[in-house]
């Protein structure tokens, strides 16, 4: 049987919706299991880190990207290729430091919160999408880029946009490896 051209997109949309609903159920269960938001945030970050460590292989195989030569290229690759591939959105990137090692990914639309209206008042310090920070950090670590990844703004907390901050922790290596 032949497949209609729109079928693949339809399956992609269904799987993303299923992921978003499942993610919401996961966060709800973590909120029941842990009293403190900080514990839920830590758990989501750890889960995301584990996903990122494994996801980078799939990303590199699917995208066939070349080695990034700068932090700005890396940030652009995360926004334009990785987010588009896995979440179907393309955040804008802005550099927020003169040293060129701090970037922000600004999401006008965050698909992980499609079915979330607002956070309960008693969960004000919950970082609902902290999984994303862990995924980015884990994937970057697997390509030998240590980074600190945090949410700077969150629409669920009343901010205008969702903003993820990435700070690369090491200076880029300028030396070339010599063969003996």
Domains identified in the chain and CATH numbers = 36-117+126-168 (3.30.1380.20)
**β-bridge mates for residue 11, sequence order:** none
What tens digit of pLDDT does each residue of 67-101 get?
899 999 999 999 999 999 888 899 999 987 888 89
Q: How far apart, in whole angstroms, are the C-alpha atoms of residue 64 and residue 66?
A: 7
Q: Give the pLDDT confidence score for residue 24 in this predicted structure.
A: 93
State both tokens at 18. Answer: 């299923």
- CA gyration radius, the chain: 18
The SS3 of residue 121 is helix
Label residue 46 by pLDDT band (50, 70, 90): very high
Can you say how many angstroms the Cα of residue 156 is from the centroid of all Cα atoms in its chain? 16
CB contact at 8 A, 90 and 83? yes
């Amino acid at each position: 049987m032949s497949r209609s051209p729109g079928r693949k997109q339809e399956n992609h949309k269904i799987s993303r919706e299923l992921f978003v609903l499942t993610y919401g159920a996961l966060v709800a269960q973590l909120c029941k299991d842990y009293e403190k938001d900080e514990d839920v945030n830590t758990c989501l970050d750890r889960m995301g880190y584990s996903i990122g460590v494994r996801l980078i292989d799939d990303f590199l195989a699917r995208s066939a990207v070349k080695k990034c030569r700068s932090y700005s290229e890396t940030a652009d690759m995360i926004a334009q290729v990785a987010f588009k591939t896995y979440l179907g959105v393309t955040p804008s990137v802005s550099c927020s430091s003169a040293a060129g090692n701090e970037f922000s990914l600004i999401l006008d639309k965050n698909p992980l919160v499609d079915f979330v209206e607002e956070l309960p008042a008693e969960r004000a310090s919950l970082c609902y999408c902290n999984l994303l920070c862990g995924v980015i950090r884990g994937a970057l670590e697997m390509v030998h880029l240590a980074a600190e990844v945090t949410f700077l703004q969150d629409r669920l907390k009343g901010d205008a946009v969702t903003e993820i901050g990435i700070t690369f922790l090491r200076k880029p290596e300028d030396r070339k490896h010599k063969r003996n």
